[in-house]
């Protein structure tokens, strides 16, 4: 694969290591971040225009759809026709499609490619990318996905990557709540947590929340529960994704009562019950303290 000149906008906890991995693989990477953060091997660009000018590929990793629209407008205006814009942010489907249309009008390729795998995956180059866009755009982005991650799935047209991420995380939020509820109930019924795990992890209650990311300290594989719920995936980020799922459900006229209830519980947890800054699995101690309809 020939080396690309890459403009990377958003060098935070996720974007920084992703950009550094691209630079380490031999690509020329110019980075811009509103907070002035930098990444190893990445040349600093003072403005978005400087970061994207003459770039073969521009990658964005931003906090929300409103910021993406604003950044994309400036980036697209300064990108060369035929270049590729890859957005790795997790945003609403509507914003992803809006940017895709703007990119297409400017003669650019576009892929929306939100990620799964967290900060550890960004650092280790083991992210999963859920990509939406044309086949040509995906093919051009694929070698870069191979550097930053371990898997990239082409989910469909523009917006499909965001749709896949939102649906996945709605399942994750709901199953984590159910897993935490079950451990809290097991405690009150006098059932040993290790025995509970041994049964459920090999029975029909099997899930990623139980088997790979168990919310009970000292049970199952090592997880944030074993580090005082220091975030692997923060509760406020789960709340953001559940909010996006309900925004999408409203737009698509989809009935998602479990997703809506999960958002309600995480809203309460983050805003009223000390969950902000904790891992999303810290719902378990929250349920331990509560009683029937408590």
Q: What amino acid positions are annotated as catalytic residues?
A: 165
Helix H or strand E segment including 170: helix 160-188
3-state secondary structure of 199: helix
Residues 6+ apart with CB under 8 A from 288: 184, 187
**What are residue 18's phi and psi, to 5 degrees?**
-65, -45
Are the C-beta atoms of 163 and 248 separated by less than 8 Å? yes
CB distance 60 to 88 below 8 Å: yes
- Two structure tokens written together for 197: 């795990």
Query: CA of 125: how far to CAs of 21, 94, 116, 214, in Å?
Result: 7, 28, 11, 23
Distance CA 177, CA 211 (A): 14
Q: Phi first, then psi: give them for residue 108, nearest 5 degrees.
A: -110, 160
């Amino acid at each position: 694969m020939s080396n690309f000149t890459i403009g990377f906008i958003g060098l935070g906890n996720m974007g920084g290591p992703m950009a550094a991995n691209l630079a380490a693989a031999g690509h020329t990477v110019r980075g811009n971040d509103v907070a002035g953060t930098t990444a190893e091997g990445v040349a600093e660009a003072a403005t978005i225009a400087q970061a994207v000018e003459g770039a073969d590929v521009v990658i964005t990793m931003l906090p929300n759809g409103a910021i993406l629209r604003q950044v994309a407008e400036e980036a697209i205006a300064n990108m060369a026709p035929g270049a590729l814009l890859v957005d790795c942010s997790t945003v609403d489907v509507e914003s992803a499609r809006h940017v895709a249309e703007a990119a297409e009008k400017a003669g650019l390729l576009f892929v929306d490619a939100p990620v799964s795998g967290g900060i550890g995956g960004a650092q280790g180059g083991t992210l999963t990318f859920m990509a939406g866009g044309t086949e040509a755009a995906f093919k051009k982005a694929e070698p870069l996905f191979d550097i930053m991650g371990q898997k990239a799935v082409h989910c469909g047209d523009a917006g499909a990557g965001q749709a896949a991420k939102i649906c996945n995380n709605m399942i994750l939020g709901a199953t984590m709540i159910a897993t935490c509820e079950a451990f809290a109930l097991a405690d009150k019924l006098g059932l040993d947590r290790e025995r509970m795990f041994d049964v459920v992890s090999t029975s029909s209650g099997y899930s990623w929340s139980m088997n790979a990311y168990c919310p009970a300290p000292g049970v199952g594989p090592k997880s944030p529960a074993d580090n005082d719920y220091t975030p692997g995936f923060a509760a406020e980020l789960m709340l953001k994704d559940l909010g996006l799922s309900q925004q999408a459900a409203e737009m698509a006229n989809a009935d998602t009562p479990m997703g809506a209830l999960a958002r309600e519980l995480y809203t309460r947890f983050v805003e009223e019950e000390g969950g902000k800054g904790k891992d999303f699995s810290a719902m378990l101690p929250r349920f331990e303290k509560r009683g029937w309809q408590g």
